[in-house]
Amino acid sequence: MSQSPLCVKVVGSMNWDIINRVDSHYGGWQHASFPNGAPIDPSPGGHGVNQAIAVYRASHQSSPNSCSLPNGREVLEDVQVYMIGMIGEDDDNRGQKIKNALADDGVHVEGVHQARNIRNGYAHIYVDMQGTPRIHNDPLANGRLTWDVVEAELEKSPRADLILVQLEIPQETVVKTIDYANKNQIPIIFNSAPVSARASNLYSHPLIFQVDHLILNHHCVEAICRTRAPRSEHSLDDGMISVPNIQKLYAQYCDHFHRLGARCVVITLGHRGVLASYLEPPDANGDRGQRTFFYPAKKQQQELVDETGASDAFIGAYAAEILRQMKTPANSGLNPVSLDLDIGTAIEHGIKAGSLTTESFGSFPAIPWRRQWIGSEVQWLTANPFVLH
């Protein structure tokens, strides 16, 4: 008897990205130039769309030929990904183009709705010659993704095995999505991005950090925590902070989010790697162990071209590995929110997928398929566990 397909529902933004290459990101009152022949590349984007594509591609081959891979890890060809989002009305039908692009890859788009009398959300993305993006976006139709729309889609069959949500949609919708997942014992991944002026307002919603997996970058961590958690005199970007101090500082940030209710906290540190902290399920006495790991970034195999979609590719690959572990024979039939997961392997997958994404221009088109980052040629990363005294 075959097992029913796994179901992921992604609640999030649906943007039209307009991507430009610039020679540099200058300060105020300075002009950036477009290099000769630099492409202006419009494509689907937004954290919601990108993560839906990333989960799907991390679970499938780009070709249907082979369904198994070396080292015993099977391809999750029965994963179904459902997008829940809001497109707008534009003369160029960009919302429909986004919807079609998702469907062409294999993502279910029945949960995509169209808002009337408002344009589709969009982002202008400027990528410098070092691959660093600056993103300016207007949510527009994304702001119409209300909880009643999302709830109706989450209630539809099939039931979600995993839910993903981000911050490019109304905050009330995010909070209620998290509350829904918790009440229905559905594991949820919350990517608290992008950072904005409202970041500190997240504390006004005590439920928002009560998630199974909180994934965020170090800029988001510092913007959200501000004075509520320890800070360093040095920035991670200035290269002055040592690895032991990185471990100590960001482990304290992880503890801060654990106290707010997050069970697993994953902080991406750009070129410095990833730090993660995982609270194990309670033992017979109700006590919970804690595992904290630091993962140095993997060396680029090719030139870094564009970092825009790296975080979404990371999350998609991470989510696909969490799904695989949830459905192993040892975990079959168990409560999915109380499993003891191998978070390290999920992060290893995420690092590899994110790294490959930076080797191509754009976000949506650059997200790799599973066969590109799992195979006999892949050298698995070794986590560097550490204990704070």
Looking at the predicted structure, is the pLDDT value of residue 157 above 60? yes
Statement: residue 339 has pLDDT above 50: yes
Calculate mean pLDDT across residues 99-126.
95
CA distance 299 to 290: 28
Instruction: Tell me: pLDDT of 297 over 90.
Output: no
Q: Which residue has the higher pLDDT, 162 or 378?
A: 162
What is the per-residue pLDDT for 238?
58
What is the rounded average pLDDT of the residues 204-223?
Answer: 91
pLDDT at 373: 79
pLDDT at position 380 over 50:
no
* Per-residue pLDDT at 389: 28
Instruction: Work out the pLDDT band at 37, boundaries 50, 70, 90.
Output: low
- pLDDT mean over 15-25: 81
Confidence category of residue 298, pLDDT binned at 50, 70, 90 = low
> Range with the lowest mean pLDDT among 6-20, 248-262, 264-278, 320-334?
320-334
Is the predicted pLDDT of residue 306 greater than 70, yes or no? yes
Q: Which residues contact 256 (CB under 8 A, 6 or more apart)?
A: 225, 228, 229
* Predicted local confidence at residue 237, as pLDDT: 60
The answer regarding whether domain 7-385 maps to CATH 3.50.50.60 reads no
Q: State percent of the chain over pLDDT 70.
A: 80
pLDDT at 132: 78
Q: Would you say residue 361 has pLDDT above 60?
A: yes
Segment 355-365 mean pLDDT: 83
Residue 129: pLDDT above 80? no
Average pLDDT over residues 307-336: 87
Identify the residue with better confidence: 382 or 41. 41
pLDDT digits (tens, 9 = 90+) for 159-212: 999 999 999 999 999 999 999 999 999 999 999 998 776 666 788 888 999 999
For position 387, what pLDDT does the model report? 38
- At 285 the pLDDT is 84
Q: What's the pLDDT at 65?
A: 38
**pLDDT greater than 60 at residue 72:** no
Q: The tokens of 223 are what?
A: 């913007």
| pLDDT for the residue 73 | 41
Average pLDDT across the chain, whole number? 84
- pLDDT at residue 31 greater than cutoff 80: no
**Domain boundaries of the chain, sorted by first residue:** 7-385
Tell me: pLDDT of 70 over 70. no
Round to whole Å and give the CA distance between 352 and 299.
10
